[in-house]
Structure 1
């Protein structure tokens, strides 16, 4: 059974989440502040964390950093903070996804199911597997991509970008992270580079590049590889 840690200081919202999650057979622990959240996470080892950023004792990004010091558990931020900078800060700290309050319970549960599936299918050799979609196959070890049985020629930059997204599949990777990983530490604001190379990757891999299925844009924030 999937265990969810809810980190939220608003009692009514905690109660609503507990009722909805338990009705769907999740085990639920809750913490009203960051210190309790970090202690419970270490003791109970949740499969997914739902985290509010506005906690009474510390900022939620500090909780993310504390968790990321020892675990890769999926962290789904649920926050009233709406600006791109605040969202990017949480994602750069190590969050996997971001839902803005007020939210649809159906959307939140769908995001939670997706995070749970990623946890269930991950293995210690996850980065070395062959990733197969309905339209193309990526061999991360051999650094090869095939589509319709034929090799797809990618430039080194295109490959590096695709590799990072696949290794973080299902997670939103920020523009800043991608730029610094692919082009270097001085390129954190050159978003136009990403737009050009993502367009090239979509032309080579997507059945309909104008409506991508795998290489997804989160406007103003970053990109996600979805299976």
Structure 2
């Protein structure tokens, strides 16, 4: 039975990327290993059964393309390429040598998770998405596949960013989430230093929650740290 505890190997030589990707995937319940070069990645792949590989293309030594070729002689687990190289040719090459998807940098956490889920769903079965797409807290249910927010009071009309922000809070309902963590979850690794934007979006999110008939106090401010969504 497919589930969110799938094992993933992340290969990238940029610490900011591996920190962000590892953090995002572990928060979803995945088991994540991280290496910064192709040689170590091959060694890990030979010793462990991974359900998915996330590969940068521009790696020292063995690059991502060659790493993918070598992995394909050993495993059929899906490969998601991450790269700052976003030309059509780069994407075609990546897919033709055995890659399953291609995500250009910079990217946001929701897009990353959606791509990972889609690849696991195809390789492990349809039940994977069904088990991991709905979040319910405070009388609100988010469907991450359909990008809808609804409940007894009705639908909440959210922008993609507001949806991602609410999802990050609801997944941690009852716990305080720092502004930095909210930036990682809702904006992506490239925005980690701009924490003030979180406050502006929280205000808009509260307004929309209230306008839809829900208690705006569902999103609490924890002074000096961040925000908490009531259970």
TM-score (norm 2): 0.51
Match for 2:124 among 120, 126, 133?
Answer: 120
Match for 1:39 among 29, 40, 43?
Answer: 43
Please state how far the C-alpha of 1:16 moved relative to its aligned partner.
1.2
Secondary structure of the 2:81 match is strand
Secondary structure of the 1:76 match is strand
1:41-190 alignment, distance < 5 Å: 41-121=45-125
Q: Unaligned regions of 5+ residues in structure 1, if any?
A: 123-227
Question: Which position in structure 2 is the counterpart of 1:26?
Answer: 30
Matched residues in 2 for 1:84 and 1:59: separation? 18
* 1:22-62 CA-partner distances (Å, limit 9, x unpaired): 11110000110001111111112110100000001122110
Question: Which position in structure 2 is the counterpart of 1:7?
Answer: 11
TM-score (norm 1): 0.52
Matched residues in 1 for 2:105 and 2:36: separation? 17
Please state how far the C-alpha of 1:70 moved relative to its aligned partner.
1.9
Matched residues in 2 for 1:12 and 1:107: separation? 17
Matched residues in 1 for 2:20 and 2:86: separation? 22
Matched residues in 1 for 2:24 and 2:75: separation? 26
Secondary structure of the 1:82 match is coil
Matched residues in 2 for 1:6 and 1:70: separation? 17
Please state how far the C-alpha of 1:110 moved relative to its aligned partner.
0.2
Please state how far the C-alpha of 1:121 moved relative to its aligned partner.
2.2
Larger relative CO (CA 8 A, sep 6+): 1 or 2?
2
Paired residue total: 122
Matched residues in 2 for 1:92 and 1:72: separation? 14
Q: Give the ranges of 4+ consecutive aligned residues of structure 1 lying more than 4 Å apart after TM superposition.
A: none
* 1:42-87 CA-partner distances (Å, limit 9, x unpaired): 1121101000000011221100100111211100001011111111
